[in-house]
Amino acid sequence: MPELMQGITIANRYTVVSRLGSGGMADVYLATDSELGRQVAIKVLHRRFASDPDFVNRFRQEAQAAAGLQHPNVVSVFDRGDWDGTSYIAMEYLPGRTLKDLIREEAPLDPARAVAIATQICQAAGFAHRGGIVHRDVKPQNVMVDANDHATVTDFGIARAGAGGITEAGSIMGTAHYISPEQAQGHEAGAQADIYSIGVVLYEMLTGKVPFDADSPVAIAMKQVTQTPQLPSALVAGVSPDLDSVVMWTLRKTPSDRPASTDELASALNAIAERLRPGYDTTATVAFTAPEAAAVAAAAAEMPVTGAMGATSDEAQPPVEDQEAAKKRKRNWMIAGGIAAGLAVIVGLLFATGVIGGVDTKTMPLVVGQDKQLALTVISNAGFTEQPSIQLVQSNQPNGRVIKQTPDAGARVPSDNKITLFVSDGPGTVQIPTVADMPAADAQRLLEKLGFKVVVRQKASIDVKKGNAIGTDPAAGLSILKGSQITLFVSSGQDQVLVPDVKDQALADARSTLQAAGFVVPTATTQVSDQPAGTVLSQTPSGGSKEDKGSTVSLVVSAPWIAVTDESGKLVTVAMHDLKAAGFSSIATSPPSCIAPNNYVASQSPLGGTDQPKSAKITLTCGPDPALP
């Protein structure tokens, strides 16, 4: 939609001050609330989405979800409504910058600062989770940070409240760099999805980079499902092993392997924050709870050895007399750990090759979003021997694209396991019906029943009754893809416009003004008057009235005037010739028979020397030759 200008008032209450930013669904403006005398942020839905029920529902869902969340780290929603053909939300105005801006300008952040901000995000998400709301799109762009590093989470636009959420399994929502593996595969996303996203945000604050990047959202999603990120400490010095462990804990591929709740994650972060506090004894053990310690240890066990084992530079060393004992204990642990790790690898290989269990298993690759032929090649190259089963599904996705797979990506399954790919067969085509002269509501229902997305536009019409359909664009009879957008034109009746007042204008100017307003101006009639020749004396209909566009406006103008020559004493035939040459078209004689040759003008009316309009009638009275006695 066009940018709203400063001074425009929304819903007779919110006056626009300036534009704050724009997103995929809406623009956000700083406005003044005239009722409460405060500044607010107004989010206005893009008009191109205002006629789409899905977008409108999502927009309203954001307002409903966020309105019930009163928390210091969650943006407050004050009001919601409809205005000028679209919808808006009035929210708390948060001065400052987004966390994304902060990361761009200052990352990598000091670990203590990053942990503090991440903890606040946890508190906001945890409060929402306890209310049954999952954000589903936690990212730095949706976090505002003020000058004191107070964080506020915004944009619950794709939040899911309870079981009646606006997104369903099979649809990928969120931003590719921050979505969880389950979201990348189109599965339902619970609180653990938000925890994964918080982990990505923490990773980015610590390193200045996201864990996974690629040239396309699909490629990033594949990495979210199948790859393990580098440790933060491998990218930036100063990130401690325990912080590495907590970050990697949040980024586990399986939701149940992550922190059980944001409260559990916040508790682990608080323990690290305590160690990062200035003056803290760095030789002390981080105070994780028992479940946290077990989970963090499991996460640490899965991390690459580099960066996960080394001591930080400020860790205290054991006394000299205890070093030999410490070295012995370390050797014993390393031997035991090496044996255990070796056994685990051997057992894993035996399972993978089928020596144990008797089944050759392979890891199912991610092929959702790929072309069918490429997906078949990827699956074959992964070692699966059975040809996948293809099920064609009507979908708005491009024809031939894989929209769902069974088993899921990342699953460890037998190599001869039957794989099913659900492939888009396109939405199918539908012929546009004729809806001309149908009541608009009936025409819209018919088109929507056939699967079209209908946008209604008003259009003036002389021939079609007001409120009835005129037609569609594309036109009736054409076959187009089901689900396509179609414009339904509805008659607003004859388009009436204000008739300009052109009285006292020159004829040329009056004609130009009326034609520009959409009126037809026939040849004007003339009338003798005292006004200069060609001046509009009157118009029908009168100026200021409303008439149908394209109708006629008649004008009466002042007739042109010319001087009447004195024809007295001339032959009648000569006098008539002179008057016609002067421009007069109506010349009579009295009596009519005196026009015969050798008759002279005894008198004339009007008299010679006077000014008369060209339309004036000149009468010549005959008489004898004035030269005769």
Handedness of CA 609, 610, 616, 618 (dihedral sign): negative
3-state secondary structure of 209: coil
What residues have CB less than 8 Å from 71, skipping those under 6 apart? 123, 124, 127
Amino acid making up residue 29: Y
Distance CA 192, CA 205 (A): 20
Over its C-alpha atoms, the chain yields an Rg (Å, rounded) of 43
Token pair listed for 459: 């259009």
CA 190 to CA 161: how far, in whole Å?
A: 10
Name residue 44's beta-bridge partners: 27, 88
From the centroid of its chain, how far is CA 311?
49
Check: CB of residue 576 under 8 Å from CB of residue 617. no
d(C-alpha 25, C-alpha 478), whole Å: 31
Q: Residue 541: which of 484, 570, 501 has the closest Cα?
A: 501
What are the backbone dihedrals phi and psi of residue 487, each rounded to the nearest 5 degrees, phi first?
-95, 125
Strand partners, 605: 619
What are the tokens at 214? Answer: 């690629």
- Determine the Cα–Cα distance for residues 45 and 23; give it in Å rounded to an integer: 10
DSSP class per residue in 291-327: HHHHHHHHHHHHS-STTTSSPPTTSPPPPGGGHHHHH
Q: 506-524 as b/e, with b when 16 or more CB fall inside 10 Å?
A: ebeebbebbeeeebebeeb
What is the residue type of 386?
E
Q: Cβ distance 369 to 420 under 8 Å?
A: no
The token pair that represents 128 in the structure block: 């929402």
Query: Which of these is catalytic: 137, 155, 194, 242?
Result: 137
Using CA atoms, how far apart are residues 190 and 185, in angstroms rounded to an integer?
Answer: 14
Give the SS3 label for residue 543.
coil
Nearest to 558, CA basis, from 487, 505, 481: 505
Q: Which residues contact 580 (CB under 8 A, 6 or more apart)?
A: 587
- Specify the residue for token string 């939701």: 255
d(CA 408, CA 415): 14
Closest Cα to residue 256, out of 295, 229, 221, 228?
295
Tell me the two tokens of residue 310. 């080394």
List alpha helices for 354-502, DSSP H: 372-381, 440-449
| Gap between the Cα atoms of 465 and 476, Å rounded | 19
User: In the beta sheet, which residues pair with residue 79?
Assistant: 90
Examine the residue annotation and report whether 137 is marked as an active-site residue of this protein.
yes
8 A C-beta contact, residue 249 and residue 299:
yes
Count CB-CB contacts under 10 A for residue 57: 11
Q: Which residues pair with 429 in a beta bridge?
A: 481
Catalytic residues: 137
